[in-house]
Amino acid sequence: MRGQRIYLKECASCHGADLKGEPGWQSVGTDGRIKAPPHDETGHTWMHSESELFRLVKFGQGAAAAPGYVSPMPVYAGRLDDTDIEAVLAFVASRWPPGHRAYQIMLDPGFDPARMPAGDWVLPQICQPVPR
């Protein structure tokens, strides 16, 4: 699969060949650097719409980042073309359980119910009680 090939070449060094992200990704390193999150269902990639992910990979965090923030992640404009970025994101999405994929499809402003996964699935539970 083309998307997988591109993922392994361009993304796996930080996000992991198994999509598990960098070890300890939820904490910031002593150098203050944010670590690469997982791209499987244990991360939060599926919580962003396809168009949001596309823009993020192509152009970087842009206006969403705090002023002066420099991401460790390269900007892929000029390095991957649009179809490469779509292929890599399709590969990542293909690894999610169908309920996670459904959640992402529903974020699309042009939501098309025909794109929803077939079969039985449940939406992921994203509002979990904070342990005290």
**Residues in the site for ligand HEC, rule: CB under 6 A?**
10-11, 13-15, 34-37, 39, 43-45, 48, 53, 56-57, 61, 71-74, 76, 88
Nearer to ligand HEC by Cβ, of 11 and 102: the residue is 11
- Please give the Cα distance from 63 to 1 (Å, whole number): 33
Nearer to ligand HEC by Cβ, of 45 and 103: the residue is 45
Q: What is the DSSP string of 49-102?
A: -HHHHHHHHHH-SGGGSPTT---SSPP-BTTB-HHHHHHHHHHHHHTS-HHHHH
Shortest Å distance, C-beta 103 to ligand HEC: 13
Nearest to 46 by CA among 115, 1, 105: 105
Nearer to ligand HEC by Cβ, of 15 and 100: the residue is 15
- Longest Cα–Cα distance in the chain: 47
Shortest Å distance, C-beta 35 to ligand HEC: 6
Nearer to ligand HEC by Cβ, of 88 and 105: the residue is 88
Shortest Å distance, C-beta 21 to ligand HEC: 8
